[in-house]
């Protein structure tokens, strides 16, 4: 059993910053990639950023230069530092991780957090 627990969402003014955290716990052998998706009302869920175990990263074009994704492998935790926030960044942010369990080290399973609301408004 694996759980992803998110924290750090909230209400912020345009131009402000927030930092999201997501900690994975449970039966984990290794975590290959961790990252964040978001879903705004009436829109499809979209990838925001992801970070691989070797710390290589990928970002959506809309957040490049403003958001930074990072991870702490010792803590099984991924972070999303969000700066220069815009109203268009308002969404529910979901953490995800591709995890291999100790009982099936060659298998990879996809896990999701419960989501955390980020609202950017004056």
What are the tens digits of pLDDT across the range 78-101? 999 999 999 999 999 999 999 999
Give me the DSSP letters along the chain.
-EEEEEE--EEE-TT--EEEEEEEEES-SEEEEEEEEEE-TTS--EEEEEEETTS-EEE-GGGTTTEEEEEETTTTEEEEEE-S--GGG-EEEEEEEEEE-TT-TT--EEEE---EEEEE--
pLDDT of res. 110: 96
pLDDT average, residue stretch 29-57 = 96
pLDDT average, residue stretch 21-46 = 96
pLDDT average, residue stretch 108-118 = 96
Q: Is residue 34 very low, low, confident or very high in pLDDT (cuts 50, 70, 90)? A: very high
Region of 10 on the Ramachandran plot (φ > 0 left; ψ -120 to 50 alpha; else beta): left
pLDDT of res. 83: 98
* Number of Cβ within a 10 Å radius of residue 75: 12
Provide CB contacts within 8 A for 104, sequence distance 6+.
none
């Amino acid at each position: 059993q694996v759980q992803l627990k998110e924290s750090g969402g909230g209400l912020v003014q345009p131009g402000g910053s927030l930092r999201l955290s997501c900690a994975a716990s449970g039966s984990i052998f290794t975590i290959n990639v961790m990252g964040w998706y978001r879903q705004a009302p009436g829109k499809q869920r979209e990838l925001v950023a992801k970070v691989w175990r070797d710390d290589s990263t990928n970002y959506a074009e809309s957040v490049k230069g403003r958001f930074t994704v990072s991870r702490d492998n010792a803590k099984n935790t991924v972070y999303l530092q969000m700066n220069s926030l815009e109203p268009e960044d308002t969404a529910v942010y979901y953490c995800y991780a591709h995890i291999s369990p100790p009982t099936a080290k060659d298998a990879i399973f996809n896990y999701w957090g419960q989501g955390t609301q980020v609202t950017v408004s004056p």
